[in-house]
Chains A and B, each alone.
Chain A
Amino acid sequence: MKDKALELTAFSTALKSHYALSEFEIRENLLTLTTDTTTYVDLSTYLKDQGFSRCLTVAVIDWIDQGEFEIYYVVHHLESNIYVKVATRIARSKPAITSLSTIWKSATMHEREMWELFGVNFVGNTMLKPLFLENWTEKPPLRKDFNWHTYVDKEYFKAREK
C-alpha cells in the first residue's frame, strides 16, 4: 500500500509542476483535477503516455445557474491502481470541446451518449449520432432545463386526462 501512495504523491507533484490546475485533490486512490479546456486536452495525451490506458467514462454535469457545462473524464492506471478525474468547464451557450476519441477508443461511445443526452459537441468525434433515442426532437433530455414533467404529460398522459 505504501508504494502506491508514494507513487501517487510523486506523480501528482509532477503533474502540478507541469500543468495549470485550479483545483487538486487526492482522496484514497482518486486524483481529482480541475483545469481549463486546453489543459483538459493536453493532459489526456500525457496521461495516456503515463500508462493510464483505461478510460472509464466521459460525462457532463449541467451547472445551469452558472451557465456552464462541466465536462470530465475518468481514467485508470491498471498496474498501480490509480484513478484520475480531469474536469473542465465550458459555456453553456457554446457547448463544444475537443474529442478524446483518438486517445482512448472507449471515449468515443461515451461522448456519443453525452452528445445525445446533453447536446454537447465533441469536435473530432466522427460517431456523433443518436444512440438511445429515436426521432428525438426536444431539448437534450438530461439538461436541467428539459422539462420532463410537461413532456411526459404531453406525450404519454394527454389521452388519459382528457
Chain B
Amino acid sequence: MSRIFKAIKSVLGLAVSKPMTFSFPPDMPLTELYRGRQLYKPELCKGCKICANVCPNNAIQMLEREKSEENKTGLQPQIDFRKCCFCGLCVDNCPTGALSFTNFPILLTMKPETLNYTPEMLAVPPTLEHPEAPKIKNTVSWARSRSIWIVNYMTGCCFIEAVPWVASSFDMERFGLLAVGSPRHADALLVGGYVTPKTLKRIIRIYSLMPQPKWVIALGNCPMTGGTYWDSYNTIKDISKYIPVDIWIAGCPPRPEPIGVAVVHAIQAIQGGYLGKEEKTDTDAGKMEVSPYPLLGADANKTEFDMVFGSQHPASGNFNMALKLDGEIIVDAIPYPGYLHRGFEKLMEYRTWLQNIMLVPRICVLDGASYELAYSGVTEKLAGIQVPIRGQYLRVVQAELSRIQSHLMNLGFGGAATGFDTIERLIWGDRDQVLLLLEELTGARIYHIFNTIGGVRRDIQPDFQQKAEQLIHFLRERLQTYDNLLIHNKTFIDRTEGLGILSKETAIQNDVTGPNLRASGVDFDIRTATPYEAYQEVGINTVTATKGDAYHRFLCRRLEIEESLNIIEHALDQLPSGPVCETKTPEDKKITWRLKIPAGEAFHCIEAGRGELCFHAISTGENTPYRIKVRGPTFGTILVMFPKLLHGMKIADVPVTYWSLDQCPADHDR
C-alpha cells in the first residue's frame, strides 16, 4: 500500500511543481559558453591561414581581400556552416583572436548554399529573424500545419537533439507534432544526421511510402555535405541527390532550438499553402541494390515464419535483426547491423592526433564524453604526458555527468518499452538539465570536445560548483520520484523481473560488460579495478546485483546514477588547484594540433556508461595515428549476446530486453 501512496504523492508533487517545459520562442536555456556561430573581426586578422589548416572538416576557405598593413596576404576566412561542427580548433589556434564564438545556435535554411558565410557575413553579429506570418489560405492548410506527424526513424547521431522534443522539456505535442511509426500516416520525414548507403535505401523506401503532401527536414551537416564524415567510404555526402529536402538545419548536432524554429517555419509555410517539393527519388545516383535480408529459413509447413525487426523501429535504434518465430515465440535470431558504420578506424588514420579528439565522441552519441576520455588517455599514455591533477578531476566530473545523462536516457527507454510514456517524458526532461550543466562545463551539450592532449580545454566558471550542487540536489529528489513511479512499480517489476536472465558465466563468455555484467553479480568496474584519471582519489562504490535479469539491469543503472552524483560531489568538494592542462611533452615540445607522437603502441581501457571501452593506438612517429582499434562496450553485448538471449521469448519482450541491455548501434557499428 505504502508504495501506491508514495507514487500518488510523487504525481501530486509533479502537479504542483513549476512546469518543466521551456517556453518557445524565445526562452532558450542557452549558456554563454555554448559554441555557436563564429564572429570574425577583420581588423585583427593577419591572414595567416592557420584556421583553415587546422579545421578537420575543411570548412574554412581563404578568400582574397584587400591587403593591408596588418593583413599582408589579404586573405580572410570564409566558413561553410554546411561543414563546420563547432569543434573550436580554429578559434583556439587563431593567434590574433580574430575568430571567436557567439552562443547563437540557429542556422537553418531552405537553400543550403546560403550557409557558406563570407568574411563580411561573419563580421556581423548574428540575430534571429522570424519568418513573416503568411495569410491563412484555407482551413485545410491551417489544419495540416497544426498536426504534422513525423516518421519515427533514428537515422544518425543528430537524432539525439530531436529527443528533447519528445521529452517534457521541449514537448512537441504542444505544436500538434507527433512521432509515428508508420510512414503511411506521416507528413514529414526527419533525416536525423548521417546516412550510410544501407540507411539510404530504407529512407528512400520510407519517403516513397508517405502520402502527398510530404515534407523532408534534414538535421545536421552530414546530410548536406557528409559533415565530419566527409571522407568516409560509407556515408552519403548530399542527400538531396536522392530525395528532395525542404528545410536544412545546420549544426553538429543542431541544438533543439533550431529544430523548433524550423518547425515554426514549416508551420507558417504550410499555412501559406506550401506543399513541399515535387516528389522525386533518384535511385541511380549511388549504390542502391539492397542485399536480401539474411532470413533464417522458417518452415512454412509448421507454424513458423520469418520476421525482420528494425531498422525503422523505435525499439531498435538504427539496427535490425532477423527473427524466426513460432507463433509469437522467437525460435532463432541473428543481428543485421551496419546502418551506422562510418569507418572510424580508417578516418582516424587521416586526422592528426589532436584533431581526432573532435572525431571520437561521435562514435557513440549517447555517451560521447567517455570516448574523448579514452582516446585522450591512450594518446597521453603513448606520448608519456602526465595530466595535471585538477585536469584529471574535471575529466571525472565530465565523465560522470555524461554517465548520468546516458543512464537517464536508458531509464526513459525502459519506461517507453514497458508502456510508461510518462516516465519517459519526465526522465528525458530531467536529462536536459544535465546537458545544460555539461554545456556550462564544456561549451557543448552533446559533443563536448572538452579534452585535449594533456588535460582539458578550459577551467570551470566561478559559479559552476554552485550550479552543480543545485543539480545534484534536484536529481537526488527526482530519483525518489523515479523509484516511486517506475522502479518500485509492481507493473514494471512484473514486466521485467525474470526476463532475459544472464548468468555470470554466460555474461563473461559473451563479453558482456559494464552495468549489464554487474547486474549478473560480477563486481568488475574499471574505475576501481584499474583506476585512471582521479578515480583512485575520489573513491567510488561499485553497484552490483545478483539476478541478472532485465529488472536488475535497470536497477543497477538507477543506483549508478546515485553513485555518480556522489562522485561529482566529492570531486568538486576536494577539487585541487593548479593548471588544468599540460602544454609540453616530456621531450619539452609544445603540444600543438600537429604534435608528432613517438613510435610505439598503447592500450587503454576505461569504464564508459555501457561498460569497458578500450582504445589501442599504434604510432609510427607521425602526427597521425598508424592504426587505432576501438573496442566498444556494446559489441559483445548486442551483436553476440542479445540474439542468443532472445530464444524462447515473445516478440513483445524484444524492446524491453533490448533497452535493458542499453544498446548503442553507433558504438558497435563504428
A contact set with B: CB distance below 8 Å: 28-30, 53-57, 59, 61-62, 74, 78, 81, 83, 85, 104-106, 108-110, 117, 129-135, 141-142, 146, 148-149, 151-152, 155-157, 159-160
What would 15 more interface pairs be, CB under 8 Å, given A62-B627, A109-B636, A156-B226?
A30-B603, A56-B614, A61-B618, A104-B509, A106-B510, A110-B635, A129-B294, A130-B338, A133-B341, A135-B287, A141-B343, A148-B231, A155-B287, A156-B237, A156-B286
A56 to B669, CA, bound (A): 16
B100 at the interface (CB under 8 A from A): no
A157 to B508, CA, bound (A): 45
With a CB–CB cut-off of 8 A, which chain A residues contact B233? 141, 146, 148, 151-152, 155
Task: Name B621-649 residues within 8 Å CB distance of A.
Answer: 626-627, 629, 631, 635-636, 639-640
> Is B639 within 8 A of A109, CB to CB?
yes
A159 to B197, CA, bound (A): 16
A146 to B511, CA, bound (A): 31
Q: Which residue from chain B places its CB closest to the CB of A29 in the assembled complex?
A: B530
Q: Interface digits, B210-238 against A, CB 8 Å rule (1 contact, 0 not)?
A: 00000000000000001000011110111
> Is A149 within 8 A of B231, CB to CB?
yes
A131 to B665, CA, bound (A): 13
Q: Interface digits, B494-531 against A, CB 8 Å rule (1 contact, 0 not)?
A: 00000000000000111100000000001010000110
> Is A157 within 8 A of B640, CB to CB?
no
Q: Interface digits, B165-203 against A, CB 8 Å rule (1 contact, 0 not)?
A: 000000000000000000000000000000001100000
User: Given A131-B338, A134-B197, A155-B287, A105–B629 Cβ distance below 8 Å?
Assistant: no
Task: Name B271-326 residues within 8 Å CB distance of A.
Answer: 285-287, 289-291, 294
B contact set with A: CB distance below 8 Å: 197-198, 226, 231-234, 236-238, 241, 285-287, 289-291, 294, 337-338, 341, 343, 345-346, 350, 508-511, 522, 524, 529-530, 603, 605, 612, 614, 616, 618, 626-627, 629, 631, 635-636, 639-640, 669
Q: Pull 11 A–B residue pairs with CB atoms less than 8 Å apart, ordered by A.
A: A56-B614, A57-B616, A62-B627, A105-B510, A106-B510, A106-B511, A109-B636, A129-B294, A133-B338, A134-B289, A135-B289
With a CB–CB cut-off of 8 A, which chain B residues contact A81? 529-530
* Contacts between chains A and B (CB distance < 8 A), count: 108
CB-based closest 4 A-B pairs: A132-B338, A106-B511, A132-B341, A156-B237
With a CB–CB cut-off of 8 A, which chain A residues contact B197? 134
> Is B510 within 8 A of A152, CB to CB?
no
Q: Which residue from chain A places its CB closest to the CB of B235 in the assembled complex?
A: A156
> Is A57 within 8 A of B338, CB to CB?
no
A146 to B349, CA, bound (A): 13
Q: How far, in Å, is A48 (CB) from chain B's closest CB?
A: 10
> Is A85 within 8 A of B640, CB to CB?
no
Q: How far, in Å, is B502 (CB) from chain A's closest CB?
A: 13
> Is A74 within 8 A of B603, CB to CB?
yes
With a CB–CB cut-off of 8 A, which chain B residues contact A57? 614, 616, 629, 631
User: Given A104-B509, A106-B636, A134-B338, A56–B612 Cβ distance below 8 Å?
Assistant: yes
Q: Which residue from chain B places its CB closest to the CB of A81 in the assembled complex?
A: B529
With a CB–CB cut-off of 8 A, which chain A residues contact B232? 148, 152
> Is B522 within 8 A of A78, CB to CB?
yes
Q: Which residue from chain A places its CB closest to the CB of B282 in the assembled complex?
A: A159
* Most chain B beta carbons < 10 A, residue from A53, A54, A61, A156: A156
> Is A55 within 8 A of B511, CB to CB?
yes
A146 to B231, CA, bound (A): 13
A83 to B241, CA, bound (A): 48
Q: How far, in Å, is A33 (CB) from chain B's closest CB?
A: 13
Q: Which residue from chain B places its CB closest to the CB of A65 in the assembled complex?
A: B620
Q: Which residue from chain A places its CB closest to the CB of B238 in the assembled complex?
A: A160
> Is B341 within 8 A of A159, CB to CB?
no
A83 to B529, CA, bound (A): 12
> Is A155 within 8 A of B286, CB to CB?
yes
Determine which of B234, B346, B530, B616 lies in contact with A28 in the assembled complex, contact meaning CB atoms within 8 Å.
B530
Determine which of B238, B510, B614, B639 lies in contact with A74 in the assembled complex, contact meaning CB atoms within 8 Å.
B614
> Is A156 within 8 A of B291, CB to CB?
no
A45 to B618, CA, bound (A): 27
Determine which of A129, A132, A141, A155 lies in contact with B337 in the assembled complex, contact meaning CB atoms within 8 Å.
A132
With a CB–CB cut-off of 8 A, which chain B residues contact A78? 508, 522, 524
Q: How far, in Å, is B335 (CB) from chain A's closest CB?
A: 9
User: Given A131-B338, A134-B290, A134-B338, A148–B510 Cβ distance below 8 Å?
Assistant: no
With a CB–CB cut-off of 8 A, which chain A residues contact B287? 134-135, 155
* Most chain B beta carbons < 10 A, residue from A62, A104, A109: A109
A57 to B285, CA, bound (A): 37
Q: How far, in Å, is A132 (CB) from chain B's closest CB?
A: 3
A155 to B236, CA, bound (A): 9
A131 to B350, CA, bound (A): 24
> Is B636 within 8 A of A148, CB to CB?
no
With a CB–CB cut-off of 8 A, which chain A residues contact B635? 109-110
> Is B629 within 8 A of A132, CB to CB?
no
User: Given A61-B627, A132-B338, A155-B287, A53–B618 Cβ distance below 8 Å?
Assistant: no
Q: How far, in Å, is A116 (CB) from chain B's closest CB?
A: 9
> Is A59 within 8 A of B603, CB to CB?
no
A133 to B388, CA, bound (A): 42
With a CB–CB cut-off of 8 A, which chain A residues contact B286? 155-156
With a CB–CB cut-off of 8 A, which chain B residues contact A117? 345
> Is B338 within 8 A of A152, CB to CB?
no
A17 to B508, CA, bound (A): 29
A134 to B234, CA, bound (A): 10
With a CB–CB cut-off of 8 A, which chain A residues contact B529? 81
A151 to B234, CA, bound (A): 10
Q: How far, in Å, is A119 (CB) from chain B's closest CB?
A: 14
Q: Which residue from chain A places its CB closest to the CB of B198 in the assembled complex?
A: A134
Q: Which residue from chain A places its CB closest to the CB of B522 in the assembled complex?
A: A78
With a CB–CB cut-off of 8 A, which chain B residues contact A141? 233-234, 343, 346
With a CB–CB cut-off of 8 A, which chain A residues contact B511? 54-56, 106
Q: How far, in Å, is A69 (CB) from chain B's closest CB?
A: 11
A85 to B618, CA, bound (A): 14
> Is A108 within 8 A of B291, CB to CB?
no
Q: Which residue from chain A places its CB closest to the CB of B670 in the assembled complex?
A: A132
With a CB–CB cut-off of 8 A, which chain A residues contact B237? 152, 156-157, 160
